[in-house]
Structure 1
Amino acid sequence: MDFKPDVSYGEVKAPNEDFIAAAGKQVMRFYPGETPWHRNWKKAFPAPYREVSFTDPAAGELHRADVHTPCGTTIEFQNSPIAIAELRSREAFYSKLVWVLNGKKFKGFRVLKNLPDVDDPKLAEYDFCHTDHLSMIRKNDFRIKGNGAKVLNFHHPELKRLALSSCYYSFCWKHPHRVWYEARFPIIVDLGGHFLYQLKHRRQISGDYSYLHMISRKSFLEQFGLGK
């Protein structure tokens, strides 16, 4: 699976702070009570991979990884958004990190339409429009006219021959958790079932376009030597 770290944008209002309890000169971070969703995910990994603790001597803290694999990747399972400061702290501490989010709790989140291959060279001179309807604009048109650029749907002669992929999707999220758009490491959304969705971002002159890359749960686990 292509875990390409993506950087996005947006100011974040952080809703939650982890409880911190003193333990001698160090600080152990305790996280909110685990849900069945957390436990079911952790059960997919061997016991030695789970709840692995690391010391951060510089900060005098102990970090507890939900899962840490032999390949050096830490996987954090999040049932709710976290504070931007906590996100940055974890991403600064772990060199290889994957976030898995419980998408069933997202409000107003829907997977929409199949997209063409977003990296297709034929699309190099086009930007996706930021709407629920699948459409594009020409980059040159946007440079001249800005938001007045002509919108092209996929019945337009320039686009109608493009094949739609089976793994890339547009989506809408009416009430997004902005903190996740700040993540530097891969974001995987779990909506239940056999498939997961990696949140990705296409760089565009008219504004970055966020989309979903569908992967199987099985292939996700196989990345870490499991489920083969």
Structure 2
Amino acid sequence: MDNTEPSVKMEKAFRNYHVETEWHRNWKAAFPPGFREVSFSDTTLGELHRADVHTPCGTTLEFQNSPICLEELKSREAFYPRLIWILNGKKFKGFRVLKSLPDVDDPRIADYDFCNTAHLSMIRKSDFIQGRPRVLSFQHPELRKLPLTSYYYSFCWKHPHRVWYHAKNPIIVDLGGHFIYQLKHRRQLSEDYPYLHIMTRKSFIEQYAGRFY
């Protein structure tokens, strides 16, 4: 007779059904064994949660190779207060990194909003408030001398997995290679502007593996 707790059975079934990919294994292998597959029990709900990587600083890293439902996303974010999602962006359709951006916190553009288009442009907040926004390219005299960064980028995602728009925790997109991209949003008067913050995979791992790297 199998006396295994129902929650444990569910967790085992979930793990067996979602066979780990090479991408998933490679990410976990970048961290010390003691950080990987750390289990936590939720005594209130009678559930078992197993973190892909859980660091001594209390941060949980979840490597997501396939889409998940909104219910699962909310469940994990509710359980892990310090969670970072790492997504396999190589499987995304229509995801492209576009152009370098200026520093989104540069005080020189505090009175401007980015336009959510493939072409880099902005509008004045004052024009938006008056109901007659005028699109300004970065060749406009007001923006022409604004320096561009090497770490912020615009992007497009034609067929997004919309469940990720509901995520409250940081999202990292892995497109392969030495660099990864954190999805961020600039709060704006017109509408929030999504952009990417590029970093090296190595620096990210060092940050959370610490002295164990």
- TM-score of the aligned structures, taking structure 2 as reference length: 0.93
Please report how far the alpha carbon of residue 26 of structure 1 lies from its aligned counterpart in structure 2 after TM superposition: 3.3
Contact kept? 1:45, 1:226, Cα under 8 Å: no
Q: Which residue of 2 aligns with 1:155?
A: 139
Q: Does 1:177 align with 2:161?
A: yes
Q: Which residue of 2 aligns with 1:6?
A: none
Q: Does 1:26 align with 2:14?
A: no
When you count strand as a share of all residues, which structure comes out higher?
1
Residue 215 of structure 1 is aligned with which of 195, 199, 205?
Answer: 199
Which SS does the other structure have where 2:151 is aligned?
A: strand
Residue correspondence of structure 1 range 60-209 to structure 2 within 5 A = 60-145=46-131, 148-209=132-193
Paired residue type of 1:217: R
Please report how far the alpha carbon of residue 72 of structure 1 lies from its aligned counterpart in structure 2 after TM superposition: 0.8
**Percent identity of equivalent pairs:** 70
> Aligned partners of 2:66, 2:118: CA distance in 1, in Å?
25
Which SS does the other structure have where 1:159 is aligned?
A: coil
Please report how far the alpha carbon of residue 122 of structure 1 lies from its aligned counterpart in structure 2 after TM superposition: 0.9
Which SS does the other structure have where 1:40 is aligned?
A: helix
Paired residue type of 2:185: H
> Aligned partners of 1:161, 1:113: CA distance in 2, in Å?
16
Residues matched between the structures, number: 205
Q: Alignment RMSD, CA only?
A: 1.4
Paired residue type of 1:158: E
Residues 216 and 226 (structure 1), Cα distance of their counterparts in 2 relative to 1, 3 Å cut: farther
Per-residue CA deviations over 1:93-119 (Å, capped at 9, x if unaligned) read 011111000000000000000000001
Please report how far the alpha carbon of residue 172 of structure 1 lies from its aligned counterpart in structure 2 after TM superposition: 0.3
Query: Who wins on radius of gyration, i.e. which is larger?
Result: 2
> Aligned partners of 1:184, 1:23: CA distance in 2, in Å?
33
Residues 117 and 96 (structure 1), Cα distance of their counterparts in 2 relative to 1, 3 Å cut: same
Unaligned runs of at least 5 residues, structure 1: 1-21
Per-residue CA deviations over 1:17-59 (Å, capped at 9, x if unaligned) read xxxxx94253442241110000010110111111110000111
When you count helix as a share of all residues, which structure comes out higher?
2
Q: Which residue of 2 aligns with 1:5?
A: none
- TM-score of the aligned structures, taking structure 1 as reference length: 0.87
Which SS does the other structure have where 2:74 is aligned?
A: helix
